Amino acid sequence: MPKKIAVLAGDGIGPEIVAEAIKVLSFLNTDMNLGLVFENALIGGAAYDAFGTPLPQTTLNLCKNADAVLLGAVGGPKWEPLAHAIRPERGLLGIRSELNLFSNLRPAILYPQLVDASTLKPEVVMGLDIMIVRELTGGIYFGQPRGVHVAENGEKVGINTKIYSESEVRRIAHSAFKIAQKRHKKLCSVDKANVLEVTELWRNVMTEVGKDYLDVQLSHMYVDNAAMQLVRAPKQFDVIVTSNMFGDILSDIAAMLTGSIGMLPSASLDANAKGMYEPIHGSAPDIAGQGIANPLATILSVAMMLRYTFNQPEAAERIEHAVNTALDSKVRTADIYSEGMIKVSTSGMGDAVLNAL
C-alpha cells in the first residue's frame, strides 16, 4: 500500500524550502524503494487567496487521508488585516486540531559546525541537545470562550481561555516521558503553578503520570525561571514538556540558542504517530522568492517524518548524515553564513544534501 504524504507548501518561503525537501525525499523514495506518494494542496494565505479560506475542505480531507503532512510555513503581513477566523494561521491551527496532533516535538540541537552562529558563548551551548515537547491542541490556543465583546459600559473586552483537562495533560505527559526514556531520562515540566490553577492541575497530573516512569527523573520549573535557565545554562535540560503557549515561547528561545533557527525541524504527532512535519521557523515574507532561504529545517523535518511516521530510521539517518556532510563541506545559506564559508542559494543547499546522500 502506498504511503501518502500531503504536501502543503504554504506562504512566503514555504514553496522554496518544501521544493528542496521533496527533491531530497524523492531521491530516497526511489533509491530505497520507500513507496511514498506525494499530493500537493493549498493552505494558509495561498489557500485564502484562491478559495477565501485558509483551510479548504479539500486540503483538510487530503491531510486526513494521508499518512503524513509536510508543511512549509503560513502567514505574512499581506493577510494581517484579515479577521481572525480567516487568517493563514487558522489553517495551521485547524490541521493541528482536526488531526489531533497533540504532541509537538521540537528538538534544539547545536550543530558544532555552526557554533559561531550562536549569540551565546561556545562553552554555554556546545553540545546542546534539548527536546521540547509542546502540547499542541489545547490550552489558550483553543480554549473557549474567546473573542472580543463590548461590555456594558461600552468598552471592548478581549478574552481567551487557558483550559486543560486531566486527560489532555495525561496524554502529553506519556508522550514526553516516553521520549525522555529514549534519551537521558530527565524530564522538566514547565508551568506557572504558583499563579495559574490550570497549570497546577498540569503539575499534579505530571507528577502522577511520573509514577509510571520511575526511571525518568521528573522536575518542575516555573515558566519565567525556565526561560531564564535556557539562557543561563541550557545544557541542564534534556526533555522539556509544557503547554501550547509556553511551548511556543520556550521552543523559539531554545532554537535561537543554537544560532540556527533555519536548521530546526519539528514533528506534530497524534496518538498513532501520524504526523505533520514542518520547520520551526516561519514564512519569512521579507526574503520570500529570493532563493536564499535555508531549506535544512524542512529537509530535517522530512527525516523526522521518516523516523516517526514511516518507521524508517535508516532513511532518516541518511538525511541527517547528509546534512552534516553538507555543513562539513562549508556550504552555508545566508542565515548561517560566516567568514570563510561558501555562500549558497536555497537550491544550492538542497543540491549539497542530495549529493551527500
Ligand X SMILES: CC(C)[C@H](C(=O)O)[C@@H](O)C(=O)O
Is 23 within any annotated ligand binding site?
A: no
Distance CA 202, CA 221 (A): 12
- Is residue 121 at the binding interface for its own copies, with CB under 8 A as the rule? yes
DSSP class per residue in 226-285: HHHHHHH-GGG-SEEEE-HHHHHHHHHHHHHHTT-GGG-EEEEE-TTS-EEEEESS---G
Give least dist CB 339 to its own copies, A. 15
Helix (H, G, I), strand (E, B) or coil at 191: strand
Residue 160 touches which of its own copies, ligand X, none (Cβ within 5-8 Å per kind): its own copies
Among 148, 152, 211, 340, binds its own copies (CB under 8 A): 148
The grid coordinates of residue 208 equal: 502522577
Is 322 within any annotated ligand binding site?
A: no
Query: Residues 191, 192, 238, 270: which is the catalytic one?
Result: 192
For 90, what's the count of Cα atoms within 13 Å in the CB-facing half-sphere?
A: 16
Residue 211: active-site member: no
Helix (H, G, I), strand (E, B) or coil at 214: coil
- Is residue 141 at the binding interface for its own copies, with CB under 8 A as the rule? yes
Residue 224: active-site member: yes
13 near 72, Cβ under 8 Å?
yes
Subset of residues 160 to 189 that bind its own copies, contact rule: CB under 8 A: 160-167
Residue 337: active-site member: no
Give least dist CB 233 to its own copies, A. 8
- Give the per-residue contact string, 197-236, with ligand X (x = CB under 6 A; - = no): ---------------------------x------------
> Closest Cα to residue 66, out of 310, 282, 352, 229?
310
Subset of residues 57 to 76 that bind its own copies, contact rule: CB under 8 A: 75
- Is residue 248 at the binding interface for ligand X, with CB under 6 A as the rule? yes
- Is residue 86 at the binding interface for its own copies, with CB under 8 A as the rule? no
Subset of residues 217 to 256 that bind its own copies, contact rule: CB under 8 A: 223-225, 227-228, 231-233, 245-246, 248-253, 255-256
Distance CA 352, CA 350 (A): 5
65: Cβ contacts below 8 Å, ≥ 6 apart: 4
Query: Residues 141, 164, 213, 308: which is the catalytic one?
Result: 141
9: Cβ contacts below 8 Å, ≥ 6 apart: 15, 18, 19, 40, 46, 72
- Is residue 195 at the binding interface for ligand X, with CB under 6 A as the rule? yes
Helices 346-356 and 14-31, interaxial angle, to 10°? 20
Query: Residues 31, 116, 212, 224: which is the catalytic one?
Result: 224
The residue (of 248 and 351) whose beta carbon lies closer to ligand X is 248
Helices 346-356 and 296-308, interaxial angle, to 10°? 40
Residues with a known catalytic role: 141, 192, 224, 248, 252
Interface residue list for its own copies (CB under 8 A): 75, 80, 84, 87, 89, 93, 119-121, 124, 140-141, 143, 146-148, 151, 155-167, 192, 194-202, 223-225, 227-228, 231-233, 245-246, 248-253, 255-257, 261, 282
